[in-house]
Structure 1
Amino acid sequence: MTEVAVRQPATTTADLARIAVVAALIAVLGLPGTIMLGGAVPITAQTLGVMLAGAVLGSWRGAASVLTVLALVALGLPLLAGGRGGLGVFVAPSVGYLLGWVVGAFLVGVIVRAGASKPQWWRVALGSLVGGMLAVYAVGIPLQSLITGLGLWETVLSSLIFVPGDLIKVAIATVVTMALWRAYPRAFAWPQRDDA
């Protein structure tokens, strides 16, 4: 039996810089604060940063940028919208959404880059919808239901308030990603392909 070596991407200084910059962007998107519309989870602009993380950095770098933010939050830095930070946020009703950010950024990156030699607007929109919305909801809603004690169906219904804003974020992520590609493609660290 022969073993097949799986080649892992090498992390470069440029990768670390990209991850840090996008982590900072996610934190900055929390500065406008939160909007509470009667639910247990606030509406924030930070999910836009999650979508951009995956679209611009790809799957593993995008997820790493989100993990960087969450690690800093766990250390007590008030990087989440509304100045929230510390270990307490990881037992709050929004913890599932925070964990969903990691999955979401990874999936956005997978969808945007799958078989493509450059970003295409429809892949960015689809990736942001599937990863930045559906994956985040798929992790966030069940954990919110568990923590709040509200039934799963009631939690799904109460979470519909996020949909209009998140659809706007999908559109913004698509426009920003395509504009950034035209203005500064080196930001993407897109893998070089022989057929590109």
Structure 2
Amino acid sequence: MNNIIITISRQYGSGGRNIGKLIANKLNINFYDKEFIEIVAKRTGMNKQYLENMEEKFTNDNLFFSAFHKEHFSSPFSGHIKYSTLDKMFEIQSEVVKDIANKGNCVIIGRCANFILKNTKHKCFNVFVHAHNKSRIERIKKEYGIYGVKMEEAETQLINTDKYRSNYYKYYTGMEWGDMVNYNLTIDSGCFSDENVCNIIIEAAKKRI
């Protein structure tokens, strides 16, 4: 495959991370997800555990967007006054996304990568993975060890995490999270096995380039 960056945005519980990992393994290219926190920690000197805890706090507390930032629902780099720790993290993560893209082929999970790499020299294939709530809840329960969510909390966590991701994406990009016009491919992972979704994305990416 020619040079390609595959970005994967995903609904919580849709299996996007696992699918991205399968793609990276099949293509023998780098994979980035939680690795971003470690890179940001090294660049800033901030404690990795602190960054992980802060990210989890924001995920579970959408007041960050619905209240404090409601009047500033646009990119912090287009002139708004308030500049939070999360804003700084986004700025650093944006630099990291560009740096790893410059290093070569890879799969990037989340982090608004499809927006950050838009209009750059990189040829990206942007994917959004989604599924019906029932399918996602079943996956969350099944993969308890991965998602770290108690069964009775699965539905609440699903709603909260999706809301956070949607608000985060809208806040930093000005675009709608999950809107098909922002991606080259959207796919319902509930209709296929992860392996099949992986193969579909790879074949589509090959044709794209």
In the superposition, the TM-score normalised over structure 1's length comes to 0.27
- Say which structure is richer in helix: 1
Query: Structure with the greater relative contact order (CA < 8 A, sep ≥ 6): 1 or 2?
Result: 2
Structure having the higher strand fraction is: 2
| TM-score of the superposed pair, with normalisation by structure 2 | 0.25
